[in-house]
Every structure is written in C-alpha cells, then in structure tokens.
Amino acid sequence: MKTPELPPFDHQPKKYTGPSVDEVLRLRKEFLNPGIFLYYKKPIMLVEGKMQYVWDEQGRRYLDALGGIVTVSVGHCHPDVVDVARRQNETLQHSTTIYLHPNIAEYAQKLASKMPGELKVCYFVNSGSEANDLALLMARVYTGNYDVIALRNAYHGGSAATMGLTAHRTWKFNVPHSFGVHHAIAPDPYRGLWGRDDVDAGKKYAADVKDLLDFATSGQVAAFVAESIQGVGGCVVFPDGYLKHVYEHVRGAGGLCIADEVQTGFGRTGTHYWGFETQGVIPDIVTMAKGIGNGCPLGAVVTTPKIAATLGQRTHFNTFGGNPVVCAQGKAVLEAIEREKLQENALKIGNHILAGLERLKEKHNLIGDVRGKGLLLGIELVKDRQSKEPAREECAQVLEACKEMGLLLGKGGLHAQTVRFSPLGQAFLPAAASGNACPTTFGGLASPHGTSAADPCLARPRSAGYLFPHVLRS
Ligand SMILES: Cc1ncc(COP(=O)(O)O)c(C=O)c1O
C-alpha cells in the first residue's frame, strides 16, 4: 500500500540543535522515573508543535491524533493561547490567592458561565488527580459520610487517594489505598453483561451500584464518582440512562455525584459541552484538567455554593492553583473553543470518522468494536470476535504502522487493546473555515486522492479505511 502523504501545511519548524534521541534516552534512563513508558519501539522525540501537527528533531511532521493524551484541546501553540500566556509571563508570573488578581476572578466567572444549574463556585488546582482529591474531600466534609462508589475500568489519577478510585491493576501499586472505595461493575456495553441491543442496559448496570450501597456500605455514602466516558479504560460509552439511575440511587444514600470531565469536557463529545450532559444529569461536583489549559498545569473543581460553603470551615490553599498565567491561558482556551466552534466541529467530524470506522469494522475481524462521541473515539481490537480476546500486540502494531504513516494515535483498555483516537479539536476544522493553514487531516492523510477537496474529511466517506495499514487485512 502506498504510504499516504500529509497535506501541505504552512509552518517551517525551527532547526533542532539539541541533544540526540540516543542522548535523551540515556539521560531519561539514568535520571528519570523508571515507571514512565514510551509508546514506540523506536521512540520519537517531539520538539515542536503547531496546531494539529508535531515535528520530531529531524523535522519530520506527524498528525497528532492524541494531543498529549487528550490535553492539547485547541491545537499546539494556538496563537491566542500563546499570546496571552506570553504577555502574562512578561507582566506578573505568580502572586497566589492571598492577593487579588483579575485573571483568576474573570476566568472563574467565564468557566462558571459554561456550567449548568447551581454549579458556580470554582477551585483551581494543578492536575486531574488533585481535582479528584479535592472533590473527594468536599464530598466527605459536606455529607459527613466516608464511603465512595467508583467504577471498574476507571482512571481518576495516580495520587494516593485517586489511585484508590482508579480501577485498573496496571495503575495501582500494591499498597493500602482504597479504604472506603467500592467499585461497581463497568457499564460497558461491549464487554459487559448487557449490550447496546438492551434498552434497559443503563438501568441494569445502575442496579449494581444500588447493590453495593445495600451490601457493601452502611447505606450512607459520601459520593459516586465516574468519568462521563471512560477514557484510559478504552473510550467506554455508558448506556443511555445509566448515570440518571445511578444518581438517584446515590442521592438516596445521602451521597454527592461527581463527574470527572478531565477527558470529556470542553465540547469534545460534540453534542454537549460536558460529557455528563450526554446522560441527561447534573452532577454536584465536576472535576476538570487536561484540555482545560491546552497543555499548562491547570485543573479545576466546580461545585454549588452550598457544597463549597462547607469547605470554608478550614483554610483551603493551593500555591499555584489559579496562578495568573494558567488562568489567562484557561480563559483563552474557552474563547478559542467558542470562536472556532470546536464543539460543533467535534460533532460533525467525529460522526464522519465514526461512520468510516464502522465500515472498517465490517471489513476487518480484528476490530471488535468502534465507539465514542465527537472526537473521543475508540477502536477495540480482538483476536476473535466470539471470545473477544484482547488483541494487545495487534493494537501496538497498528500504532507503530500509523506512526510510520505520520499519524500519532493512543491506546487504552486494561490490555492496551483499544486504539484511542482523540484528535485536537482544531485539527479537524473544515478547510473552508481554516484556509490553507490546516486544510485537511485524516481525510487528507487517509485519502488516496490527494487533498484538493474543499473539505476532504467530509467529502470522502471511506477515508477512515486508510488509517489502518496491513495489520488490519482480515
Ligand atoms: C479521566 C481522568 N481523570 C483524572 C486524570 C488524572 O489527571 P492528571 O494526570 O492530570 O493527574 C486523568 C489522567 O489521565 C484522567 O484521564
């Protein structure tokens, strides 16, 4: 198969003059945390990024369909985001909340304007783990209860408390960390007991939460916490109605409902700004990170004034939380999503890609399932469609081969069997809206016909078929 070429892009990366890949690898092995991992057999070193593209030290360009693990939400080095961060860095880099600063106040107001219901009070932290830690504390202080229900196949972070919520052996160290946490079965319509053909699946999976409340706790809990779509777990989309039923059970047991929007927020699901809205619920606490800052260390917890008031019992302080630079950047991200209509774009392009992936599934037995919403997509690979044995090695091969084609993807699931496809919002702006700067992405990459159509992503419905190289031949 002829390797598809990336479409032209008007950006010349700077000449790289730093240490070689081998040298960086050596330094990393000697001086860095041995628990971190690399994706490819021959690691790539990324030294520059511009919107949907990244460059390695040799000047080779890649289309980034992972965005630093669902983090670069509006494009690498988005000019407006860079501009506000640069200006703030030159003016005042840090002050903390013991003094007034306009950025944190204006940003909180803007973020709150994106929230439904009474969710109006913002806390700023530095990461998703910190946001979930704080949400747990809030729920426990507010309710006076301790136990928490989370879901199997969840990822909520790597701090001591959030490792307890996370439910993948891969991320859990063999130390005491889950006291008071009970994991309900994952509402996974592909691998779970009830599939997409069962209209009551949401209710049935939710009954397991009720079971836990009745049999594993005192009947009173602090909270239920879930990602609105499980990201690290391989893009697992819950059946309709699941969260609605769960929230009823949990609120009946005195608990608060926490939505982890670290991957699903900010319009990525396309139909809604927040992932929980796709399930028709309003949580009591929402946690955010990753895409909120387009790559800077920013996380947030948003809750109601009533819940927030209970945390006023003690001083709550976070040195970098709400720093003037990250708040400027966070606000610029919200504005870019609005101005560039990235939510609408995620819906349009996401639906198009999903339809292409469905057609691929018809052709290749290796694909067990395709799923997702907007630009949060998963392609689960199995050795056998009957047994659903995870195809871990094949998934790694797909990633390797796509990298050779200039496309960076992610993987997820307990066995790393699911290709994760969560491209940058900006990357999929139709050509008509973005001019020559980002004329096409997967459509162009995937297309055997070049890139001349006004909106190639939309014009070539079969394009997704070219994303997967030889390994997918059935
Ligand atoms: C859904 C979800 N929650 C929380 C986290 C933890 O975020 P951080 O790595 O910023 O601590 C992650 C990270 O992958 C995540 O995907």
Q: Where are the domains of the chain?
A: 21-74+341-466, 79-339
Residue 5 confidence (pLDDT): 85
The Cα–Cα gap between 13 and 49 comes to 8
CATH superfamily placement of domain 21-74+341-466: Aspartate Aminotransferase, domain 1 (3.90.1150.10)
Per-residue pLDDT at 178 exceeds 70: yes
User: Across residues 406-426, what is the average pLDDT?
Assistant: 91
Rounded average pLDDT over 159-163: 95
Mutate to test the pocket of ligand 1, among 72, 156, 162, 301 (most ligand atoms within 8 A of CB): 156
Residue 412 confidence (pLDDT) above 60: yes
Residue nearest to atom 7 of ligand 1 (CA): 128
Ligand 1 centroid to residue 295 C-alpha, Å: 13
Q: Is 246 helix (H, G, I), strand (E, B) or coil?
A: helix
Which atom of ligand 1 sits closest to the CA of residue 157? Answer: 6
Average pLDDT for residues 28-54, to the nearest whole number? 95
Residue 426 in contact with residue 340, Cβ under 8 Å?
yes
Q: How confident is the model at residue 177 (pLDDT cuts 50, 70, 90)?
A: confident
CATH of domain 79-339: 3.40.640.10
Atom of ligand 1 nearest to the CA of 227: 1
Nearest residue by C-alpha to atom 13 in ligand 1: 157
Identify the band that residue 424 occupies on the pLDDT scale cut at 50, 70 and 90: confident
Provide the b/e sequence for 311-331 (b: ≥16 CB within 10 Å): beeeeeebeebbbbbbbbbbb
If you average pLDDT over every residue of the chain, what do you get?
A: 90
- Residues comprising the chain, all counted: 474
Q: How far is the CA of 81 from the centre of ligand 1 (A)?
A: 22
CA 162 to ligand 1 centroid distance, Å: 9
11 pLDDT more than 60? yes
- Lowest mean pLDDT across 10-14, 67-71, 220-224, 462-466: 462-466
454 CA distance to ligand 1 middle (Å): 37
Q: How far is the CA of 270 from the centre of ligand 1 (A)?
A: 20
In angstroms and rounded to an integer, the radius of gyration of the C-alpha atoms of the chain is 22
| Residues near ligand 1 (Cβ within 6 A) | 127-129, 132, 155-157, 227, 231-232, 260, 262-263, 289
Q: How confident is the model at residue 442 (pLDDT cuts 50, 70, 90)?
A: very low
For ligand 1, the distance from its centroid to the CA atom of residue 287, given in whole angstroms, is: 10
Task: Tell me, in angstroms, the distance from the centre of ligand 1 to residue 32's CA.
Answer: 21
Which is the closest atom of ligand 1 to the Cα of 129? 11
Summarize the confidence of residues 165-182 as an average pLDDT.
94
Q: How far is CA 47 from CA 34, 57, 62, 100, 304, in A?
A: 22, 6, 11, 36, 41
Has residue 451 got a pLDDT over 90? no
Q: Tokens representing 420?
A: 């994760």
Burial 39-57 (b: 16+ CB within 10 A, else e): eeeeebbebbbbbbbbbbb
How far is residue 152's CA from residue 414's CA, in Å, rounded to a whole number? 10
Shortest-distance atom of ligand 1 to CA 264 = 1
> How high is the pLDDT of residue 323?
96
- Rounded Cα gap, residues 240 and 34, in angstroms: 41
Q: Tokens representing 402?
A: 């796509």
Closest-lying ligand 1 atom to the alpha carbon of residue 297: 10
pTM of the predicted structure, to 2 decimals: 0.91
d(Cα 23, Cα 35) in Å, to the nearest integer? 19
> What mean pLDDT is predicted for residues 456-462?
31
Q: What is the pLDDT of residue 425?
A: 67
Nearest to 434 by CA among 51, 13, 5: 51
Asked if pLDDT for residue 372 goes beyond 70, the answer is yes
- CA distance linking residue 202 with residue 187, whole number of Å: 7
**What's the confidence (pLDDT) of residue 154?**
98
Percent of the chain at pLDDT exceeding 90:
85
Residues with Cβ within 8 Å of 285's Cβ and at least 6 positions away in sequence, in order, are: 135, 138, 139, 223, 256, 257, 258, 259, 301, 302, 303, 307
CB 457 within 8 A of CB 473: no
Which DSSP state fits 287? E
Helices and strands (DSSP H and E) totals, the chain: 15, 17
* Ligand 1 atom nearest residue 132's Cα: 4
The residue with greater pLDDT, 464 or 27, is: 27
